[in-house]
Structure 1
Amino acid sequence: MTTFYLVRHGEPDWDINEKYKLKGHGRDLVPLTQLGVEQVYKASKDERLQNAQLILSSPYTRALQTAAILSKELYLEIQVEFDLREWQPDLTFQYDSLEQLKKLGTDFDLNNGNYPVGETRLWESKPMMKARMDGVINKYLNYDHVIIVGHGMAFRTQYEIDDIPHAYIIEYRK
């Protein structure tokens, strides 16, 4: 059995999105705030992470920065896995405002992450997210302890929790 430590990234600097009017995946390029950096340094001291053999990371900046801090503190290699990316609120990659993101997120939540029967939505469904997360996790079942640095919505496909704080650690066994 493998123990995965799902570590949500530290607090990101979302203000950059509005300042630069970033669109689509450009909105995922924001770094951590200073508080976010401090959150990750604190998480790196958690006893559960000390036995990890590898760090897997989402390709998004906030996750990579989090993984880099953990890598430095825990002396572990980082493997970037594209399928650990966060929920895609707009599969056309056209959304460009916090208001649009909130509307798409609200629709996702109202439908519990599932498309209504006979309908499709712009957003990535929970089953789609779970399938890609499971695909990554299943590749690393030959390890005993693995850190996965990623995102709240994606982690919620593996573990039932309403809200995951920044730099929070969830133990997940498979």
Structure 2
Amino acid sequence: MTQFFLVRHGEPQWDINEQYNLKGHGRDLVPLTDSGVDQAYAAAKDHRLQQAEIILSSPYTRALQTAAILSKELGLDIKIEFDLREWQPDLTFEYDSLDRLKELGDDYDANHGVYPPGERRLWESKELLKKRMDQVIDKYSGFQKVIITGHGMAFRTLVGEVGEIPHASIIEYIK
């Protein structure tokens, strides 16, 4: 059995998205706020992370920056796994505002991440998201303790948690 420590990224600078009118994956390039950096340093002090062997990270800036802080503080290598990216709210990559992101997220939540019978939605289904997360996790089953830096919706879907996961919080997940 492998013990995974799912560390949600620190608080991101979302206002950059509106400042530069970013859309699609461009919205995932924002760095952490100063508070988000402090959150990542605080997470690195958690005793549960001290015996980890490797850090896996989403390719998105906020998760990578969190992973870099953990790597520096814990002396661990980082392996970037593309399929640890956040839930895809719009598979056409055209969404361009927090309002649209909220609308898509609310629709996902209202449908419990499942496409209604005979319908297709813009967002990635819970089944697809969980499948890609599980595929990454399965690759690291030879380790005893693994840190994953990633995203709230992806982690919620993986562990079946309902509600918002706080920035830089740690969830233990055994598989």
Question: After superposition, what is the alpha-carbon deviation per residue over 1:57-84, rounded to whole angstroms, capped at 9, x for unaligned?
Answer: 0000000000000000000000000000
Distance 1:127 1:156 in 2: 12
Give the C-alpha shift of residue 139 in structure 1. Answer: 0.1
- 2:132 corresponds in structure 1 to 132
Distance 1:158 1:173 in 2: 11
- Report SS of the residue matched to 2:13: coil
- 1:165 corresponds in structure 2 to 166
TM-score (ref. length: structure 1): 0.99
Give the C-alpha shift of residue 160 in structure 1. Answer: 2.6
CA RMSD in angstroms, aligned pairs only? 0.5
- 1:56 corresponds in structure 2 to 56
- Are 2:78 and 1:96 equivalent residues in the alignment? no
Give the C-alpha shift of residue 97 in structure 1. Answer: 1.0
> How many residues align structurally?
174
- The gaps in structure 2 that reach 5 residues or longer are none
Give the C-alpha shift of residue 99 in structure 1. Answer: 1.2
Distance 2:95 2:153 in 1: 18
Give the C-alpha shift of residue 98 in structure 1. Answer: 1.1
Distance 2:64 2:86 in 1: 12
TM-score (ref. length: structure 2): 0.98
Distance 2:160 2:113 in 1: 13
Question: After superposition, what is the alpha-carbon deviation per residue over 1:146-169, rounded to whole angstroms, capped at 9, x for unaligned?
Answer: 000000000012213222100000
Question: After superposition, what is the alpha-carbon deviation per residue over 1:32-56, rounded to whole angstroms, capped at 9, x for unaligned?
Answer: 0000000010000000000000000
- 1:41 corresponds in structure 2 to 41
Q: What percent identity do the matched residue pairs reach? A: 71
1:1-174 counterparts in 2 under 5 A?
A: 1-161=1-161, 162-174=163-175
Specify the code of the residue in structure 1 equivalent to 2:94.
Answer: Q
